[in-house]
A = this chain, B = another copy of it.
């Protein structure tokens, strides 16, 4: 079928088929006009030699790589892989490949990734990384790389953005809780360096409590199930109640399991709410009440916006996803919608 030596080039195909390489190119791209017989001759030699055009050379010649750069934190979270998955789906549909640029928690590294994205000659980029601010995004766009940003408000000719809105839902929840006679003290679990979504929620949590004149608490915890579970096993030895607002399902489950394993009843003694809910909120017992944004859908939307941007017909450069309260059994007085996690 093929020699294990060098790559078969278009030139070798041309030579073997006894035509010019221009003709081969026409056959490959089904462009221009070629005699059916020459076409067949060329196609046969292509098959015989096992020739595959080099995407690299094609991209260089056409200035189109059909490749999208994706910048995401390497943190192994379900909701991140949900976003990635949504992007993947639409990208496949539209014929784009994805080049992954995974960042750690360091901003320096994130900047490096931006440089790589620019160098990599991708047709566009989707960025979902807290380390990067509007300035960084503008920079990448200034290099003529159409970009869609997730969870950061940036606008521009070649920029689209998708925003999350947890604010309304969270504020409503807190108010509803107290208006329905909630008496447990509300506790916000602070995770260091967990991104702007959480710190923003925390600010809102505090602001709302101040407005209502209610007491609250903020507790530091690790972004790890095991450690948070251990921490709260200790915690519940002296504290026997509370309403805990947690970053994501794992953390919420840690608090909840620590509570039940300490002989407390959820939600009678302890109530728990997860901010970034995933399908795993459904497998705990009790099921977790959580805020939900369909992050798979967010990924799809991001990729759609990007293709529109690439085609020059994106009209609405900004989209918003509102968090929906998905009611589980880990809270008492929250009313919310049912969310289908398929």
Task: Give chain B residues whose Cβ lies under 8 Å from the Cβ of A82.
Answer: 76
Q: Quote the shortest CB–CB distance from A155 to chain B (angstroms).
A: 16
Task: Give chain B residues whose Cβ lies under 8 Å from the Cβ of A76.
Answer: 81-82, 85, 296
Task: Give chain B residues whose Cβ lies under 8 Å from the Cβ of A53.
Answer: 119
Give A270-327 interface residues, CB cut-off 8 Å to B: 279-280, 282-285, 296, 312
Q: Is the CB of A225 within 8 A of B99?
A: no
Q: Is the CB of A97 within 8 A of B120?
A: yes
Number of copies of this chain that the complex holds: 2
Task: Give chain B residues whose Cβ lies under 8 Å from the Cβ of A142.
Answer: 1-2, 4, 50
Q: Quick check: is A191 within 8 A (CB to CB) of the other chain?
A: no
Q: Which residue of B lies closest to A2 (CB)?
A: B142
Stretch at the interface among A19-27, A32-40, A56-64, A176-184: A56-64
Known: A67-B99, A98-B100, A100-B88. A283 touches B253 (CB 8 A): yes
Q: Is the CB of A54 within 8 A of B2?
A: no
Task: Give chain B residues whose Cβ lies under 8 Å from the Cβ of A52.
Answer: 115, 118-119, 143
Q: Is the CB of A342 within 8 A of B89?
A: no
Q: Quote the shortest CB–CB distance from A87 to chain B (angstroms).
A: 9
Q: Is the CB of B250 within 8 A of A283?
A: yes
Q: Quick check: is A131 within 8 A (CB to CB) of the other chain?
A: no
Task: Give chain B residues whose Cβ lies under 8 Å from the Cβ of A280.
Answer: 280, 283
Known: A82-B76, A257-B283. A4 touches B144 (CB 8 A): yes
Q: Is the CB of B102 within 8 A of A74?
A: no
A interface, how many residues as a size bin? 35 or more
CA–CA, A191 and B217, complex, Å: 46
CA–CA, A56 and B284, complex, Å: 48
Q: Which residue of B lies closest to A89 (CB)?
A: B74
Bitwise interface map of A from 5 to 22 toward B, beta carbon under 8 Å scored 1, else 0: 111000000000000000
Give A135-179 interface residues, CB cut-off 8 Å to B: 142-144
From A54, A249, A254, name the one whose CB has the most chain B CB atoms within 10 angstroms.
A54
Give A112-140 interface residues, CB cut-off 8 Å to B: 115-116, 118-121
Q: Quick check: is A55 within 8 A (CB to CB) of the other chain?
A: yes
Q: Is the CB of A60 within 8 A of B67?
A: no
8 Å CB contact of A97 from B6, B116, B254 = B116
Task: Give chain B residues whose Cβ lies under 8 Å from the Cβ of A260.
Answer: 285
Q: Quote the shortest CB–CB distance from A190 to chain B (angstroms).
A: 20
Task: Give chain B residues whose Cβ lies under 8 Å from the Cβ of A65.
Answer: 56
Q: Which residue of B lies closest to A340 (CB)?
A: B226
Task: Give chain B residues whose Cβ lies under 8 Å from the Cβ of A341.
Answer: 225-226
Known: A52-B119, A119-B54, A226-B342. A7 touches B282 (CB 8 A): no
CA–CA, A224 and B279, complex, Å: 11
From A99, A101, A312, name the one whose CB has the most chain B CB atoms within 10 angstroms.
A99
Q: Quick check: is A197 within 8 A (CB to CB) of the other chain?
A: no
A-B contact pairs, 10 of them (CB 8 A): A52-B119, A54-B121, A55-B121, A56-B60, A74-B92, A76-B82, A92-B102, A98-B100, A257-B283, A280-B280
Top 8 nearest A-B pairs (CB, nearest first) are A81-B81, A253-B283, A98-B100, A56-B121, A88-B102, A76-B85, A55-B119, A55-B120
Given contacts A5-B144, A92-B102, 12 further A-B contacts (CB under 8 A): A2-B142, A55-B119, A56-B59, A56-B121, A74-B88, A97-B101, A98-B102, A224-B342, A250-B279, A257-B283, A283-B284, A284-B285
